[in-house]
Structure 1
Amino acid sequence: MLGPVPIRAYALCIIAGIVIAVLWGEKRFVARGGEPGTVTDVAVYAVPFGLVGGRLYHVLTDWTTYFGPEGNPIDALKIWHGGLGIWGAVALGAVGAWIGCRRHGVPLPFFADAVAPGIVTAQAVGRLGNWFNQELYGAPTTLPWGLEIYRRVDPATGITDPLAGVAVDHTPIAVVQPTFLYELLWNLLVAGLVVWADRRFRLGHGRAFAVYVAGYTLGRFFIELLRTDPATRVFGDIRINVVVAGVVYAGAIAYLLLVRKPREVPPFPPRVPRVAAVHPGRPPAHAAEPGGSAATEPAAPDALRQPAPAAAGEPPEGRPDRTP
């Protein structure tokens, strides 16, 4: 607790992951030729969008928990109770990053390649929160690294509370496969793969980000099959995240095969401002005259031009000098 505000370990893990992603992404962005501070500026848009997207995905794929007969719609807003879908976080976070990149004149693929390993590392750190929440686990196991699940209750009411409650005894009620731990380790391997592939092949135009997406979804596909916690099922009895992982993996592989452009080289060309319409016979209003500033009025036709006043001691233009 921080005064009256409860501090959740899950939230601290997410914050730590965001900090790592921004700092590492900033370092890689500058090393690739970008302007310092840009990643932090773009993160101001990407992070809030990502949090909203992650929550939306969770709520939409677990609709009955909040809007079913026994659900409470207000609980959909209680993000501190857990429930963020990485698919929605990355998708809507990319929209926020696109907005930030446009404001700073940076191509989104260039930005995505720089932050890719930091993002998957942030996911690994965020998975530590699942250990504190006793969630995202698999079937019972006798392996030495099995996750011990304890019964937690609210001391004030005695009601079971897996998130904020305390363990009532020291005997676990189950020992299960820690699938969140498998994903954590896999994410770190993917981060290393992205860094290696990026250096080895000088990936650009979003291909380093595609390596991250392909690597993550490949591992998530098989890890998801080990999980036994409640989840939305589609196509009979398939967990929805298994289907999403397979579809996104195929898209990432297709992108890697189709995009063959070399790495972008900053500085990037500035965005071209919109030009006012040009009428026949009249130069554009913003056209600059040689050696001067931009003209504010169109030049008058030759027939309407008045001769310039003569300087002292000189005859006017077109008149002979009658001085005796």
Structure 2
Amino acid sequence: MDIAYIPSPSTGVIHLGPVPLRGYAFCIIIGVFAAVWLGNRRWIARGGRAGTVADIAVWAVPFGLVGGRLYHVITDYQLYFGEGRDWVNAFKIWEGGLGIWGAVALGAVGAWIGCRRRGIPLPAWADALAPGLAVAQAIGRWGNWFNQELYGKATDLPWALKIDADPGIGRVAGTYHPTFLYESLWCLGVAALVIWADRRFTLGHGRAFALYVAAYTVGRFWTEYLRVDDAHHVLGLRLNGWTSIVLFLAAVAYMIVSAKRRPGRETVVEPAAAEDGPGAEKAAKVEKAGSVAGKPAAKPVKELSRKPVKKPGEKPADAPAAPSGGATTGAAGDAPADKPGKKL
């Protein structure tokens, strides 16, 4: 009796003339746009400028792609440098193979460069991007569906994934756990969790990003347990399983320590935005009125004391009194009684 299953695409490439349109690449691109869009909304809500997330993503995305590919090639080097393998395939990123840990690590380096150039704190930018990054992963996992890769153990569940045979890579036809779907749904849940917790607990200083890492690693651990693709094992556990454990503990520790040292959220995430925002407009009005930041306003010109101008031959107003027996002047402002040099 036939069982229900999720069908796989017959091909992951559609040719538009000589140009190949690959489903894997489309999923990555759509995921990047989704992450930037959501990150931009969150950044503006935190007081930043529109477009800053995209500007920094110009640095983070290329670094992330290189890091993701390097991590995959290094941890699965036997696929490219083993006997009978062609090392040139290591550069064929469109055939799949991006390690999320390498993408996050090297992508963070690119983001740090972009943040440094803009003068904004990297943890604040990472907090704004965190749920968008989870959404990007949820979309990107469908690239594995197009390539019929990274599936789980054999199963006859109604949502099993139908995989076609490919003797060239040792793929056996059958129905398997759709780990790509499990991880995609899990990532959407992680995005929702981070958004809720960020609003509920006012997460800042990188804690929203740490929560994303901790939550994602929990789901990644059990999907790794289901997968049947070749991988290196350490003490009976897949390498990515150990990586998930280490990163989970590190993320939780960071959240605890950071909450004690720097509670709350950053008051200013982008200085340039603060200078151009409502606060700057208010300061400009205060300055125009003559008072800035609590300092007393400058006195109007009409209230300033004026130094009298001395005319030629005229004694200053504060000149010493005449010698005894000499002529005296009248009251202040009166003309001298006698002309200078006149004898009595």
TM-score normalised to structure 2 length: 0.71
Please tell me whether residue 234 in structure 1 is matched to residue 206 in structure 2.
no
C-alpha displacement of 1:161:
7.5
* Aligned with 2:160 (options 146, 149, 152): 146
Equivalent position of 1:254 in the other structure: 253
* Aligned with 2:132 (options 90, 93, 118): 118
Mapped partners of 1:135, 1:77: distance in 2? 18
Q: Deviations over 1:240-289 (max 9, x none)?
A: 1001011000100001111112200126568xxxxxxxxxxxxxxxxxxx
Equivalent position of 1:101 in the other structure: 115
Mapped partners of 2:201, 2:244: distance in 1? 25
Greater Cα shift, 126-135 or 14-23: 126-135
Equivalent position of 1:63 in the other structure: 77
Structure 2 CA distance for partners of 1:20 and 1:264, relative to 1, 3 Å: same
Aligned CA-pair RMSD: 2.0
Equivalent pair of 1:134/1:162 in contact (CA under 8 Å):
no
Structure 2 CA distance for partners of 1:33 and 1:231, relative to 1, 3 Å: same
Please tell me whether residue 3 in structure 1 is matched to residue 17 in structure 2.
yes
TM-score normalised to structure 1 length: 0.76
5+ long unaligned stretches in structure 1: 153-158, 164-171, 271-312, 314-324
Please tell me whether residue 223 in structure 1 is matched to residue 223 in structure 2.
yes
**Which residue identity is paired with 2:152?**
G
Structure 2 CA distance for partners of 1:161 and 1:72, relative to 1, 3 Å: closer
C-alpha displacement of 1:173:
2.6
Structure 2 CA distance for partners of 1:148 and 1:268, relative to 1, 3 Å: closer
Equivalent pair of 1:46/1:93 in contact (CA under 8 Å):
yes
Identical positions, percent? 59
Structure 2 CA distance for partners of 1:105 and 1:180, relative to 1, 3 Å: same
Mapped partners of 1:220, 1:61: distance in 2? 16
Runs of 4+ in 1 over 3 A off after TM superposition: 159-163, 267-270
Task: Report SS of the residue matched to 1:6.
Answer: strand
C-alpha displacement of 1:5:
2.5
**Which residue identity is paired with 1:189?**
G
Mapped partners of 1:267, 1:224: distance in 2? 37
**Which residue identity is paired with 1:211?**
L
Equivalent pair of 1:22/1:118 in contact (CA under 8 Å):
yes
Matching of residues 128-143 of structure 1 within 5 Å: 128-143=142-157
Equivalent pair of 2:121/2:269 in contact (CA under 8 Å):
no
Equivalent pair of 2:49/2:270 in contact (CA under 8 Å):
no
Task: Report SS of the residue matched to 1:124.
Answer: helix
Aligned residues, how many?
A: 257
Q: Deviations over 1:141-163 (max 9, x none)?
A: 111000011235xxxxxx85799
C-alpha displacement of 1:239:
0.9
Matching of residues 175-214 of structure 1 within 5 Å: 175-214=175-214
* Aligned with 1:15 (options 19, 25, 29): 29
Equivalent pair of 1:97/1:108 in contact (CA under 8 Å):
yes
C-alpha displacement of 1:89:
0.4
* Aligned with 1:46 (options 57, 60, 72): 60
Compare CA radii of gyration and give the structure with the larger one.
Answer: 2
